[in-house]
Amino acid sequence: MTGVDEMYIKSIKIYGFGKHVNREFNFKSGLNVLYGDNEAGKSTIFAFIRSMFYGLTGRGEENYRKKYFPWDRFDGEGRAVRFGGEMVFESGGTYYHQVCIWGASKREDVCTLNEFYTGRVVKLAPGKSVGEQILRLTADAYDSSVYIGQLASAIKSGGDKDGVLLARLSAVSGFDGEEQTGTMVKQLLKEKMDALKAPRGKNGELDQLVIKKLNMQNELTRLSDVDNKVAARKESLDELFKERDRLLKKTAECERLLKMSRAAKLLLTKDKIMTVFASVDNICAELDECKAVAEKYNNEAPSLKRLIGGIVSGVAGAVLVALFFLIPGLSPAVKYSLLAGGGAMVLLAAILLAGRKKRSSYIVKNGNKIDVFQRIEELEETLSQKEVLIQSYLDGQTLEEFNEKWREAEQLLKTSTDEERRFCTSRPSAGFEETLAAIRKETEPVMEKIGYIQAEIDSLRASSNVSFSEAQEALNGIDEKINLLNDEYKAYALAYEVLEESITEMQTTLCPGLCSSTEKIFNAITGKNIKVKIAEDFSIMVSDDSIPRGINSYSGATVDQAYFALRIALSDMISPKDETYPIMMDDPFVQYDDSRMSNGVDFLCSYAKNTEQAGQIIYASCHKRVLDAVPDATVI
């Protein structure tokens, strides 16, 4: 493994995942220990790392999206907790920065992957997770090799408590379930091969992809023709857009001049209205004066009843006095009675009419004698005409509304230049309106052409669900998937061929290398020379030359150590040739007593410290013995 890069996780930052909120963990090459009591959240950390690589898929029947949704909605500072986090890891000599925010469903998930130092976006192949593309491991292979969960080192040896440990090497290929026999593995491989390439018909995944590729190539030819037509029409559209923009700019300039012309006219109307209002004020003042004189005249004139009574009394008195002189032969008593009655009636008339001489209804103004009643009629007529004139200026609007328009007009003219104001006020607004109408008339056919060409382009684009570039990218994705599936098929075919020849043949090619690596790792750490054999049922046996074949007399702790050496060798085997994978252990000694647990921890510490080939190990435990062996452990 000299000169081989190490794939390792540098750090994680959890926004919210299960019980963890705003937690950060930094890791180094070699052994990293997470210590915490039961239910402290150690398994949650491993679940978070797995979710970053493969999404919220979970294992078995577990639903990660529900199980690990943040328990707390708000953090200690009252901020809403986001479901997700960040991870920085190195693979193939490149550092990556990944951010994931998960929602209530997969469609709401937002995940990004960038190169850590350059910030360049790393694009994943369609349908690929980060773990599948960068680690080149399926989720099942990750669970069966890189990750060792609780009770994952449990010994399954039937009645032999000291000996056989099932490695389930078939799980490396993604097979799941109980231990596999060669026949079962062969059957599984055949099923997977048939699923890719159907023996009859075209229902295999690869068969369907080839058909899809052919259809996509035909679609690309059509899309290329559509894109060429769209490009040609867009050139015409761009020229029309330039002409439209020129006309719109000209329209805007003319509209501004028209607004300023109307504003100037409006302010001129304001001056006229103010002049009329001033004239109305003078008329009202004179009218009030004339009405005051007329009122006095009407008050000082005798009332009609008194006037009639005075006249009747005077006439009656005159008649009685006339009878005194005109009728001869009357007795003195009668004559004097007529004379006395006539005098009384005349006196009464004088009393009724005394002091009620009618005042004059004229006034003198500027040396002219004016009849106030006639002047009142003239002023009221003039005032009525002025009101009609004001209403014609207001054009059905209230004075308050006109005042608002005057303010807007004044504000508009303040923003104009002296040259613009002179230009607008020297020309009638009708000229601007005519010019504006002409420009708009010129704009209409241009807009119609734009709409026609745009509709044509939209129609061309509507004939395709995707663009040429998207279809080309999809075709590339199909090619890549076909290549991957072909490689997968070849791998299954090769495995099937090997199994078909014989299980013994497989054990003479695959197992010796794995067993040899396991023995070397075990010897390098413990100094013990052991022999490891993988049986046909994929169980392992640990022995040495001094022990009869098939008998395992080593203690459970030794077998456990051999198991970890096997897992390390297995990780090396499935790793790419130029890289080593990390190993993540979630309290695998949870079922051990203190003695066996100590041996296991010592084994890992020795491996990390004394072996040049040691990669990254992230080990979580609830045993306090770990703190004695690893002082720099991270306490959760």
CATH of the domain at 114: 3.40.50.300
Neighbours of 264 (CB within 10 A): 20
Among the candidates 338, 357, 376, a domain finishes at: 357
pLDDT of residue 129: 94
Least confident among 54-58, 410-414, 462-466? 462-466
Q: Which residue has the higher pLDDT, 222 or 100?
A: 100
Does residue 514 lie in a domain region? yes
What is the C-alpha R_g of the chain? Answer: 55
What does the pLDDT read at residue 355?
A: 46
Instruction: Tell whether the model's pLDDT for residue 161 goes beyond 50.
Output: no
- Classify residue 434: in a domain, yes or no: no
What pLDDT sits at residue 354? 60
- pLDDT at residue 404 is higher than 60: yes
- For 53-70, the pLDDT digits (tens) are 999 976 555 688 989 999
Instruction: Give percent of the chain above pLDDT 70.
Output: 78
- What confidence tens digit (pLDDT) does each residue in 566-607 have? 777 776 666 666 677 888 888 776 556 667 677 777 777 777
Per-residue model confidence as pLDDT tens digits over 41-54 = 999 999 999 999 99
Alpha carbons 245 and 325: distance in angstroms, whole number? 114
Q: pLDDT at position 605, please?
A: 76
- Which amino acid would we find at residue 541? M
Question: In the prediction, which pLDDT does 337 show?
Answer: 79
187: buried, middle or exposed (CB in 10 Å: 19+, 13-18, 0-12)?
A: middle
Query: Domain boundary residue among 310, 340, 357?
Result: 357
Whether the predicted model's global pTM rises above the 0.95 cut = no
The CA–CA distances, whole Å, from 526 to 602, 605, 629 equal: 10, 11, 16
Q: Which residues contact 80 (CB under 8 A, 6 or more apart)?
A: 73, 74
Res 383: pLDDT: 86
pLDDT digits (tens, 9 = 90+) for 286-331: 888 888 888 877 765 556 666 677 777 777 778 777 777 777 777 7
Q: Are 27 and 9 in contact (CB under 8 A)?
A: yes
Give me the mean pLDDT over the 515-525 stretch.
81
Half-sphere exposure of 324 (CA within 13 A, CB side): 18
The reply to whether 28 and 162 lie within a common domain is: yes
pLDDT reading at 550 higher than 60: no
Does residue 105 or residue 336 have the better pLDDT? 105
How high is the pLDDT of residue 504? 59
For residues 260 and 420, the answer to whether their CB atoms sit within 8 Å is: yes
pLDDT at 159: 34
Lowest mean pLDDT among 239-243, 262-266, 425-429: 425-429
Verify that 12 and 155 share a domain, yes or no.
Answer: yes
The candidate with the shortest Cα–Cα distance to 183, out of 493, 499, 498, 490, is 499
Domain membership of residue 62 (yes or no) is: yes
Residue 524's pLDDT is 73
pLDDT at 33: 92
Tell me the average pLDDT across 367-392: 83
pLDDT in tens, 187-197: 777 788 888 88
Query: Which segment of 197-206, 234-243, 575-584 scores lowest on mean pLDDT?
Result: 575-584
* Residue 206, in any domain of the structure: no
Torsion sign across C-alpha atoms 342, 343, 348, 350? positive
In 3-state terms, what secondary structure has residue 179?
coil
Confidence of residue 165 (pLDDT cuts 50, 70, 90): very low
pLDDT number for residue 302: 56
Tell me, what's the pLDDT at 574? 65
* Domain region containing 337: 302-357
With H, G, I as helix, E, B as strand and everything else as coil, classify residue 155: coil
DSSP readout, 95-106? Answer: EEEEEEE--SSG
**What is the mean predicted confidence (pLDDT) over 27-48?**
91
Residue 514's pLDDT is what?
79
At 350 the pLDDT is 75
pLDDT of residue 623: 81
Which pLDDT band, with edges at 50, 70 and 90, does 175 fall under? very low
The answer to whether residue 353 sits within a structural domain is yes
Count how many domains the chain has.
2
Nearest-angstrom CA–CA distance, 478 and 62: 32
Residue 312 lies in a domain: yes
| Pairwise pLDDT comparison (463 vs 137), residue with the higher score | 137
Maximum average pLDDT range among 51-55, 416-420, 477-481, 500-504? 51-55
Residue that terminates a domain, selected from 334, 357, 380: 357
In a shared domain, residues 167 and 30: yes
Residues 6+ apart with CB under 8 A from 183: none
Give percent above pLDDT 90 in the chain. 15
| Model pLDDT, residue 176 | 40
Report how far apart, in Å, the C-alpha atoms of 481 and of each of 129, 138, 166 are.
14, 15, 34
- Residue 40: which of 585, 625, 636 has the closest Cα? 636
* Average pLDDT for the chain: 78
Answer whether 449's CB lies under 8 Å from 240's CB: yes
Mean pLDDT in residue range 231-236 = 88
Other Cβ atoms less than 10 A from the Cβ of 199: the count is 9
Residue 148, token pair as written in the block:
């060792």
- Does 147 score more than 60 pLDDT? yes
Window from 12-16, 91-95, 207-211 with minimum mean pLDDT: 207-211
| Residue spans of alpha helices (H) in 23-141 | 42-54, 64-67, 130, 139-141
Number of separate helices (H) and strands (E) present in the chain? 18, 17
**d(Cα 422, Cα 412) in Å, to the nearest integer?**
14
Instruction: Check whether 160 has a pLDDT greater than 60.
Output: no
More confident residue, 440 or 24: 24
Instruction: Name the most confidently modeled range: 65-69, 308-312, 500-504, 611-615.
Output: 65-69
Are the CB atoms for 177 and 150 separated by under 8 Å? no
Confirm whether 348 is domain-assigned.
yes
Structural domain contains residue 204? no
Q: Please tell me the least confidently modeled range out of 28-32, 298-302, 390-394, 418-422.
A: 298-302
